[in-house]
Every structure is written in C-alpha cells, then in structure tokens.
Structure 1
Amino acid sequence: MTKRNEIDPDTPLCCNCARLRRAARVVTRLYDDCLAPTGINTNQFTILGYLFRERGPLRMMALGELLAMDRATIGHNLKPLERDGYITIAVDKTDRRARLVSVTKAGIAKILEAHPHWVLAQDRFESEYGSAQSAKLRHMLDCAAEQHLES
C-alpha cells in the first residue's frame, strides 16, 4: 500500500476521471465520425437537440447547466452554430445581462438531416455494448453528473 505522500504507479488504472475521459473520447469519435457528413459534430448536435426539445429560447447559462459547460465553453460552442445560422443569440428583454439562445428553421433542418446519422452511431454503440447495458450506463452517468462534484 502506498503512503499518502507517495505516487502510486497504479493511479491511472483506478482514476475515475481518466477512465471517463478515455471512454468519452472513444464514444465521441464514433458519433463525430457518423455525424461528419452533416457538417456538425456531437456537441453541436446535442446543443441543437436541447434547443429543439425545449421548443423555445433558453438562457445561455441554463443551456450551459444542461450541458455541464461553463459560460466560456458554452459561448465557444455556440459561435459556429450562430455563424452557420442554426441558432440565434439575443439579449433577454427581462434581464439585459442574460442571452437567449434559440434554434432557427435552418437549425431544425440540420437536426432532421443529422438525426439518421446519430441513429447510426447510437445503433453501433448499442450493438457493441448492448441495449440494456447502454441504458444502465446512461443512468449511471446521469447520476454521476448530478452529484455536483465541483471543488
């Protein structure tokens, strides 16, 4: 057993963060590869999907909370979607400090175009990992995300 002030060479093998990030990179690569013909990536598809699901504008901070992204990261991810006309960002009339993000008709069209490619990625993942295991994984990941583990 390693003392607290010594480095354990097995740390990477038991590090939850390292394992989650490794899995996330592999899965993201699958989804990005499947979505590539549509010109959007997994993050962009997810953002458009949340905006479409809500059927109305979302405050940028609320969208960031749904995605577990800070203000700078969500802003960075929204720029290409705004540039390409898939979303609009407007000042909230009730709070001029806040920004409202809305999906446009072009954004909805992009979601409809990308959805079959997402289904392909989803099917590939579930055929390898199993549908029941995938459902359990989503539940476990949601539980982990809801722990609010910020330092």
Structure 2
Amino acid sequence: MSNPTPIPYSTTIHIRDSCLCLHAQRAARALARRFDTALKALGLTNQQFSLMMALNRPEPPPMGPVARLLAMDRTTLTAALKPLERRGWITVEPDPKDKRGRRLRLTPDGTAVLSAAVPIWRAVHADIEAELTVDSDVLRQGMLEVSV
C-alpha cells in the first residue's frame, strides 16, 4: 500500500450524491436536531424520548428487545439509561424470571415527562411530514426495509 491509486474526484462526487448511508446519516442528524430543539424545554433529547417511548409497555421490557428496537448494543443502551435513571424517570430492576437479566420501567415522573413530550413530538412530526415532497409512508417503508 505504499503507492495507492488516486481516486478520481468524480468518484467522490458520485458517492456524495448517491450514498444511501451518507444521506440517511445526514437526514438522521437533521431530524434529531429538530426534535432535540423542540424537546429541550422538557430537559429531554430525541434519543431519550425514543428510549423512554420504547419502555412505554404494559410490562417492563428486558434490555435485549429495547436494544434491538433502538438498534443499539447493550453497552450503549446501558450508558443511555444512566441519565434517565439519575433523573428518576426510569428504573432498572432485576428480571423476576431471570435474576441475571434486567427489566426497564418508566417511573411516574418519567411517564409524566413522556406525556408532556408526546404533543411536542406530534407537532414537530406533522411539520416535517408536511415539508416532505415524497410520500412519508414510502420513505418510512424504505427505511424499515434497510434497518432490519
């Protein structure tokens, strides 16, 4: 690898214009910024909102399914849970069926914050969908197909 072949600038332009990963990352960052800004008044980030919403289930979920839903590894999920736990919005409890496992539960304070966040999310989401020039269901389906 002492004399690498130069990559033509046209290749750079082609990848810039066609790379699905690049465009998905840019879109994800732009969307996250919009939701982060809107949720800031509640002291909540978009990532925290998504995480807490993933816990809003009839029974506290184990860590594995939550990590899979959010496309996170368990270590990243554990780190993301810590600030929510410190704020008293979630608890991490032993799994009654398997003491090695953990279940994630929203606290009443966490549920209250999440309840206040939902109308904000709905408004921002409606604004974003109204700005799209493509069918949002087709866009969502395409992203789902790539993410599985």
Same fold (TM over 0.5): yes
Aligned to 2:147: 145
Unpaired runs of at least 5, structure 1: 147-151
Unpaired runs of at least 5, structure 2: none
CA distance in 1, matches of 2:39, 2:123: 9
CA distance in 1, matches of 2:81, 2:20: 29
For normalisation by structure 1, the TM-score amounts to 0.85
2:124 alignment partner, SS class: helix
Larger-Rg structure: 2
Taking the TM superposition and a 5 Å limit, the aligned residue runs for 1:1-151 are: 7=7, 8-10=11-13, 11-52=15-56, 54-129=57-132, 133-146=135-148
CA distance in 1, matches of 2:62, 2:90: 13
CA distance in 1, matches of 2:6, 2:77: 38
Spell out, residue by residue over 1:93-112, the C-alpha distance to the aligned partner (whole angstroms, 9 max, x if none). 32222111011111110111
1:85 alignment partner, SS class: coil
CA RMSD of aligned residues (A): 1.6
For normalisation by structure 2, the TM-score amounts to 0.87
Aligned to 1:149: none
CA distance in 1, matches of 2:135, 2:42: 28
What is the count of residue pairs matched by the alignment? 140
